[in-house]
Structure 1
């Protein structure tokens, strides 16, 4: 078996195991961590990592040995033992209030400021306990000697006349007044602006909005001339089309249901109104043919029932398609299917086109 090996210490390449083993033994090794080196010089440099600077002995790992000595966190120096460390610590300046020590005198001077009272300018520890004797203004972040001085100061802050809240500046007061007490409709101020709006401004339950006055409400909600109900501008035409338009005679009526019953023919089977019995006879024949099941020939009387039948009995789509003759009657307005008004018709392209044609025709008359 061929032998191939690099020496990780000097990067020499060997193909003989004996030569490689002899070569490895020739490298000087650290007697503490057993790491090999390419020269004695590099080994001597490495040994400094094992030498303790205090007792000048060698250890591995050196970190475990150093725990035996003492370390000063202030000046980052090591000491042989606790006694030597305590003697050294006395050299660091000490705070006379909290007894903490610091590296330098300048550090101590900065620290002393944390014990100084901004009101009586004396020093205390802890300063937080002493400050309870004084009064603090949360509005302007200032301290006062006592309650008397605080009370004299607090009246200088602007106050809201409606809710009595105090503010640091007049700008903050104005922002509060505008955001909390100002009516967005009449631009007056009130203690309870929501109550004012509910009591004094008209409300539309349909669009769930308040209005400045009745004139504005009427402007935004025109009245239907057939039933006198009010609707938003964008909804008045759809309301008239859906509730008052008869596509059979292309006209509008206050009582659409009453008009249909009095003037047109109704088929309960197909749930549809017809212009007359002649149209009914032509349409029923063509439409019934469309509502037959293509698989078993069962006659259904609505598209909804046809879809249910095909799914339940045959587990297949019904394959329904509008014929030109049936669509012709619908587009001309000779037949008025109740399903035309349903949301489901919006997903039927042909039925949606019928609704669009009728809506365009009705819109011309509405205008």
Structure 2
């Protein structure tokens, strides 16, 4: 039988027993500043090929995001959550993963999902409301997009625990925004992950708003990263618009988790340049000056500045690449439209491994009505 552990502290006569959050050091990991400048010693660790690959992936994501926003306005897809401004956080973090690592996205992690291997056509199935959009292709270690805020943090911890119990090397990553840290699921997941020392990374993209609620009205903590200390894990604050810093930070966290050193909380400071979703009007709660200030910190601009300074990228290459991505988007959309659409009966599938009696009866009733009415 286990006995209660002694408190992990030393008593000192006359000492200050308080943990003072105002005395916690707050440093942001950064390699590349908003003008594309950085420590040449640190920049030397990144090859020209790596930098070009990162930029292409980020530029592809931006073109896709902007095109999807227009397509939603045209009625071609359903409600959409844009991610422009957050490309470095998502892509830099996925670059540090292996293909067999698991990711647990929320509705805004389109760039992370595409970078990890989700086909673009698959995403079109999702935003068109098809069941096939929630069925991940074989071999893609990614859970379906989670709409319930912070719920994916629990799923990621469960998957990581399973990897640990099986002795498998996979690391799980839960992606979420600053708003999710106000949910109970986030705190339960953090506590469980630390207690059981599971290989999971909590990756928070602090884009400054939970829909219309600014960060300062969500928490009294100066940072989200410092919340890790209360649960007994490491926390780090990184410039989420610096793809190099995000990659290096995530790489260290993933390697530590894979070595059995437990979970980590990463807070990536970034900004959502567009609306929360296509149902949102951000001008109701954000000043234009604020948005313009963050546009100067655009993750694509700083990396492109570095590439141009090194003679690795030109406007001609930019235009050709954007045209190529637009062709990819058109082809993926047309393939999704041409594919067999689902049926209303699909709503009953992929819920239980063995359907309960009541659900089976409901499905039979829907099928009978469908046959009588001719509804697809």
Q: TM-score range by the shorter chain?
A: under 0.3
TM-score by length of 2: 0.17
Scaled by the length of structure 1, what TM-score is found?
0.17
